[in-house]
Structure 1
Amino acid sequence: MSNKLHIETFTLGDWMTNCYVLYTDSGACWLVDVGFGPEAMFSFINRQDLTPQRVVLTHAHVDHIAGLPELRLHWPDLPMFIHEAEREFPGDTVLNLSIALADPVVAPEPTGTFKHGDVLELDDVKFEVRHTPGHSPGGVCLYQREHGVAIVGDTLFAGSVGRHDFPTSDGNALMTSIREQLLTLPDETRVLPGHGPTTTIGEERRTNPFLQ
């Protein structure tokens, strides 16, 4: 693989949502989730002279999509992808869980969808889409095998798992997703979650109380 993968983490908003800029040596980049107050992400992209290629959403709850309207002001034509099960979520304040906020979020409609098993390419760096429903119906993990990293959204955290008490959540599906799609990855795989610190698959297998 000729291109090295770089990952910059931005912890955004009152809910401390981890959003990521992925980029290669060529300067091509993706934005993975765009939460409240995304100015730091956008400034980083501009300072590093990166070229955004697409937005990839791990899921469409409000704290992961709230910055998309602002993103559209910077990059009006940037493609935006989400799992096919959540295509309607960004623009629906009930589904994206923002209806109770003082200023509900109506985010732009995705321009495309992906499904389990699809391979997305940033230059020649390939990411496998693993569908991990449970926290939300279209939650996904983006797994990069050569670099040993998995961006897992709100499915798995250091010492915890995603909430499953929302109207479109499913606790049984969540645990199945973790066991079949995440715990099957190598122990050394770095886990980049939607909230909290980075961990590894092996660490969670050994110590996460929800997985014992």
Structure 2
Amino acid sequence: MNWKQAPLGPAQTNAYVLHNQEGEAVIFDPGGAGEAFEAALKRDNITPLAILLTHAHFDHIGALDHIRDAFNIPVYLHKREESWLADPEKNLSIAMTPEGITSRPADYLLAGEKTLPVGPFTFQLYETPGHSPGSLSYYHEATGTVFSGDVLFQAGIGRTDLPGADEGTLLGSIHHKLLELPENTAVACGHGPTTTIAAEMDTNPFLNGL
């Protein structure tokens, strides 16, 4: 198994494609450029099985309906953000365009920390609120990767000046969930370059003193 990073949309939000040798895949956070992303997946002979959302801010869902319809696949989202997909104010897109960005409801609503099987892929699900109330991190032990959305970045953390965000909650999520993962775990961030748990423990200025 392996994964690819694909920055998409005006915010260059990182979508990720986790795939096996047969080309079966799960997609994380298709944030925009739906037609181009679809074409790239088909060019690479990728067969998506599902879309896993780390959270429902507009820059992570811009191509959601395009990709789900192109491959006829389900969408997973935390239940605390169930209404965000259809609400431009909650997903923060109303400030970007007059009509905002909307998507149809998720097919599966997630809650709690548990093992999540999706086809041949198995994830450990972590609730990591703070950037948004329903932020999820998906740990894939087979590749040693956590797909964490906008929780933790290289030398940074997610924004906490947004509705429903809270810095103390976010730092608690990082400290008690992500930093408990093996130090060689790759962190597949929602924006910017990937990093590792070890690197952020050693150098991230926002985590000093935790």
Q: Shorter-chain TM-score: what band?
A: over 0.9
Structure 2 CA distance, aligned partners of 1:121 and 1:6? 17
Task: Call closer, same or farther: CA 1:72–1:188 in 2, change over 3 Å.
Answer: closer
**Residue 45 of structure 2 aligns with which residue?**
49
Letter in 1 for 2:91: N
Q: For 1:143-158, list aligned pairs within 5 A.
A: 143-158=139-154
The equivalent residue for 2:178 is 182
Gaps of 5+ in 1: none
Q: Is the 8 A contact 1:18 1:193 kept in 2?
A: yes
CA distance in 1, matches of 2:171, 2:5: 26
1:99 equivalenced with 2:94 (yes/no) = yes
8 A contact 1:21–1:32 mirrored in 2: yes
Question: Which residue is equivalent to 1:82?
Answer: 77
Is residue 2:129 matched to residue 1:130?
no
How far apart are the structure 1 equivalents of 2:177 and 2:18?
Answer: 22
After TM superposition, give the deviation of residue 156 of structure 1 in Å: 0.2
Residues 98-119 of structure 1 show CA distances to partners (whole Å, capped at 9, x for unaligned) of 1112241011110111123232
- Between stretches 177-186 and 35-44, larger displacement belongs to 35-44
Provide the aligned C-alpha RMSD in A: 1.4
CA distance in 1, matches of 2:47, 2:161: 38
* Residue 40 (structure 1) shift: 3.5
* Structure 2: stretches of 5+ with no match in the other structure: none
Q: CA deviation at 1:41?
A: 2.5
The match for 1:168 is 164
Structure that is richer in helix per residue:
2
- Most deviating of 38-47 and 102-111: 38-47
| Cα shift readout 1:52-81 (whole Å, capped 9, x = no counterpart) | 211110000000001123224413x31111
CA shift for structure 1 position 97: 0.4
Partner secondary structure for residue 4 of structure 2: strand
Residue of structure 1 equivalent to 2:32: 36
Go from structure 1 to structure 2 and tell me whether the alpha carbon gap of 1:201 and 1:66 turns closer, same or farther (over 3 Å shift): same
TM-score (norm 2): 0.93
Q: TM-score, normalised by structure 1?
A: 0.92
Q: Does 1:19 align with 2:18?
A: no
2:2–2:143 contact (8 Å) kept in structure 1: no
Q: Percent identity?
A: 37
